[in-house]
């Protein structure tokens, strides 16, 4: 009899401590949220679509463009640069949702999944960062910084936001990314980098 009561009590307390998901969270977890690695893979392919356009647009701009030509090229680059900023922000939001659901369901605690551990996530982020900063370097060398500053500032801030969201999962990521960005863009875009709070 005692043991039955204990069992019932144990069951009752499990029921009480098991988090009750809101329908939105249940939908998220039942949809099997993409892993961080999947989000990064999707992000890279979206970014590459846009950097390919950006490279073509930048390539097509005249050498030593005058002010009007710089501004025309910047206007042509705007949709792709803004799309990258939006994709970075959206990926960051997905990471935030993911750790929330995991915290409520007790699954994994937001750490890196076994299929793509910390080192693997680090490599994916590095590839994304390098793709972006070499493309940005190409733009700045060809067109100068002034005409694209208003487009590159939100993009870099969104990139840093993404890296900060993942820095909890991949320890030291922010320092690695800061090193890469500074090495590639430091002398070209000092004014832009000065706006970033790492």
Ligand X SMILES: *[C@@H]1O[C@H](CO)[C@@H](O)[C@H](O)[C@H]1NC(C)=O
- Interacting residues with ligand X (CB under 6 A): 48, 51-52, 55, 131, 134-135, 138
CB of 52 to ligand X, least distance (A): 4
Alpha-carbon distance 161 to 156, whole Å? 8
**Torsion angle, CA of 81/82/85/90, rounded to 10 degrees?**
-140
Nearer to ligand X, 34 or 131 (CB): 131
Q: What's the min distance (Å) between Cβ of 126 and ligand X?
A: 13
The Cα 37–Cα 95 span in angstroms is 10
| Closer to ligand X by Cβ: residue 21 or 134 | 134
DSSP-assigned states of every residue in 76-121:
HHHHHHHHHHHHHHHHHHHHHHHHHHHHHHTSGGGPPPTTS-HHHH
Q: Following CA atoms 128, 133, 138, 144 in sequence, which dihedral angle do they give, to the nearest 10 degrees?
A: 140
- Nearer to ligand X by Cβ, of 28 and 159: the residue is 159
State in angstroms the smallest separation of the CB of 108 from ligand X: 33
What does the alpha-carbon distance between residue 159 and residue 179 come to, in Å, rounded to a whole number?
Answer: 14
At closest approach, how far in Å is the CB of 131 from ligand X? 5
For residues 130 and 145, what is the distance between their CA atoms, to the nearest angstrom?
18
Task: Output 42 or 55, the one with its CB closest to ligand X.
Answer: 55
Which residue's C-beta sits nearest to ligand X?
A: 134
The number of beta carbons lying within 10 Å of the beta carbon of residue 96 is: 11
For the bound state, the minimum distance from the C-beta of residue 53 to ligand X, rounded and expressed in Å, comes to 9
- Residue among 38 and 134 whose Cβ is closer to ligand X: 134
């Amino acid at each position: 009899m005692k043991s039955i009561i204990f069992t019932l009590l144990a069951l009752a307390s499990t029921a009480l401590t098991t988090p009750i998901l809101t329908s939105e969270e249940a939908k998220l977890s039942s949809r099997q949220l993409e892993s961080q690695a999947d989000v990064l893979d999707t992000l890279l392919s979206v970014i590459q679509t846009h950097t390919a356009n950006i490279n073509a647009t930048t390539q097509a701009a005249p050498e030593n463009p005058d002010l009007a030509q710089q501004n025309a090229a910047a206007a042509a680059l705007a949709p792709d640069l803004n799309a990258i900023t939006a994709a970075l922000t959206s990926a960051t939001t997905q990471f935030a949702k993911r750790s929330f659901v995991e915290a409520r369901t007790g699954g994994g605690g937001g750490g890196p999944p076994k299929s793509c551990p910390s080192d693997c996530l680090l490599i994916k982020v590095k590839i994304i960062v390098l793709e972006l900063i070499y493309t940005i370097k190409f733009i700045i060398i060809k067109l100068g910084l002034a005409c694209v500053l208003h487009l590159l500032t939100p993009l870099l801030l969104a990139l840093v936001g993404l890296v900060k969201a993942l820095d909890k999962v991949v320890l030291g990521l922010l320092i690695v990314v800061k090193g890469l960005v500074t090495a590639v863009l430091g002398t070209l875009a000092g004014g832009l980098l000065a706006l970033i709070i790492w």
